[in-house]
Amino acid sequence: MCFAKSGAWAEKAQADAVVIVAAEHAGLVKGHALVSATPRLDFARALSFIESVAGYEWSQAEPVIHPTAVIGQNVVLGKGVVIGEGARILHNVVIQDEVVIGARSIIKSCAVVGEDGFGFERDVDGKALRLPHLGRVIIEEDVEIGSLTTVCRGTLGDTWIRRGAKIDDHVHIAHNVEVGEDAFVIACAEISGGVRIGGQAWVAPNASVLNQLKIGEKAVVGLGAVVVRNVEDKSIVAGNPAKHIRHVE
């Protein structure tokens, strides 16, 4: 089940999906369409109903910690957490249920990995309805996550930090983000939901990236840039709103 907020999203939905969609886009759905005036709100309602009636429970398994991993003081580990060979989890880190930490990765002090992302939809009275987050966070090998950084779990799919990525202190990684191999995300950057950051890309301090965008491979997002459209591979962008400056040589 999913929702489609536009015709383009309706066309992308898998053929076996049940899609909550506005009437004008129902004909574009390959599978089953449920017509709604407020697709995202009704999706949140449906997910909350399923969660309350059928129940959704994370694994009750105890954390699996490799014997060579190092765990600091006052670390909180949720159910089903997996920590790989040689990983280092420093003091006061919180790792919530079902998070996977790859070999040799480092999670620095006071980072929070795997909390719910910011997912709410207003009803007709303006009251906020929380969207359940049922995905995970997957951190591959040789990743670094800085102090006081937050990495949110996915809504339905997973948030994914690929091999060798380095994320600095005070960074926010929202739900369903993918950070590519060997990418750098520097201090105080904000990466909104569903963003894809390509391999070896560089996101400079205080940059903000609008949700669902793609930052290309080896692209550079400049200091304090506000990114509101996709960034091509090897493109350097800067400013508010961010504009293409030149290509990386």
pLDDT digits (tens, 9 = 90+) for 114-135: 999 998 888 888 999 888 888 9
Is 13 contained in some domain? yes
Residues listed for the chain: 249
Three-state DSSP class for residue 162: coil
Burial class (CB in 10 A: 0-12, 13-18, 19+), 148: middle
Within this chain, do residues 228 and 193 fall inside the same structural domain, yes or no? yes
Tell me the sheet residues that pair with 34: 20
Within this chain, do residues 178 and 236 fall inside the same structural domain, yes or no? yes
Within this chain, do residues 23 and 92 fall inside the same structural domain, yes or no? no
Residue 32 annotated among the catalytic residues of the structure: no
> What residue numbers bound the domain in which 38 lies?
2-53
Within this chain, do residues 18 and 82 fall inside the same structural domain, yes or no? no
Within this chain, do residues 104 and 20 fall inside the same structural domain, yes or no? no
Within this chain, do residues 45 and 68 fall inside the same structural domain, yes or no? no
CA 48 → CA 40, 60, 98, distances in Å? 12, 21, 20
Within this chain, do residues 40 and 142 fall inside the same structural domain, yes or no? no
Within this chain, do residues 189 and 221 fall inside the same structural domain, yes or no? yes
Residue 11 region, left (φ>0) first, then alpha (ψ -120 to 50), else beta?
alpha
Residue 46 region, left (φ>0) first, then alpha (ψ -120 to 50), else beta?
alpha
Three-state DSSP class for residue 50: helix
At 59, the pLDDT band (50, 70, 90 cuts) reads low
Within this chain, do residues 129 and 175 fall inside the same structural domain, yes or no? yes
**For the whole model, what pTM was predicted?**
0.88
Within this chain, do residues 39 and 112 fall inside the same structural domain, yes or no? no
Q: Tally the domains of the chain.
A: 2
Is 188 contained in some domain? yes
Is 59 contained in some domain? no
pLDDT at 54: 59
Residue 7 region, left (φ>0) first, then alpha (ψ -120 to 50), else beta?
alpha
pLDDT at 4: 76
pLDDT at 209: 99
What value does the mean pLDDT take over residues 49-72?
A: 81
Amino acid type, 184: F
Within this chain, do residues 118 and 181 fall inside the same structural domain, yes or no? yes
Q: Identify the active-site residue in 172, 175, 244, 247.
A: 175
pLDDT surpasses 60 at 233 = yes
Per the CB < 8 A criterion, the answer to whether 217 and 237 are in contact is no
